[in-house]
């Protein structure tokens, strides 16, 4: 974030700076409220039976992914970053999907006892 301008030099510049800060604060508060709403949704969905435990986990992971995406985009300022950040983020996403795939495969790899 930029340093605040010197008020004695140009008061209009300070007003513009203060307005930009208020815009960011408003965005942070909105995302914070959305995170609270999604947390309530997560709690409510924990009482719903989707037929299988794996389906319940998948729904919980979907809601958690939405919440993590909001945090990364707004609080970590990824919404305004350059291409390199997105390339790293995409690589990380593929890595996470690969780990989820390994967990999925482990669910169906039952041990065979002789």
Q: Residue 33: pLDDT band by 50, 70, 90 thresholds?
A: very high
- Joined together, the tokens standing for residue 104 give 């999925």
Residue 98 has a pLDDT of 93
Q: Encode pLDDT of 86-96 as tens digits.
A: 788 889 989 99
Quickly count: other Cβ atoms within 10 Å of residue 74's Cβ. Answer: 19
Report in angstroms the alpha-carbon separations of 32 from 20, 22, 35, 57, 75. 18, 15, 5, 24, 10
pLDDT in tens, 47-77: 999 988 888 888 888 998 889 888 888 877 7
Residue ranges per domain, the chain? 11-80
- Whether the pLDDT of residue 20 is over 90: the answer is no
The reported pLDDT for the residue numbered 111 is 67
């Amino acid at each position: 974030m930029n340093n605040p301008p010197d008020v004695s030099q140009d008061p209009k510049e300070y007003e513009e700076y203060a307005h930009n800060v208020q815009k960011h604060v408003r965005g942070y508060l909105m995302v914070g409220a959305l995170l609270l709403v999604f947390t309530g949704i997560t709690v409510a969905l924990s009482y719903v039976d989707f037929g299988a435990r794996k389906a319940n986990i998948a729904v919980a992971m979907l809601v958690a992914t939405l919440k993590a995406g909001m945090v990364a985009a707004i609080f970590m300022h990824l919404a305004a970053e350059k291409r390199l950040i997105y390339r790293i983020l995409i690589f990380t996403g593929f890595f996470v999907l690969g780990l989820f795939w390994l967990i999925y495969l482990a669910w169906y790899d039952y041990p065979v006892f002789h």
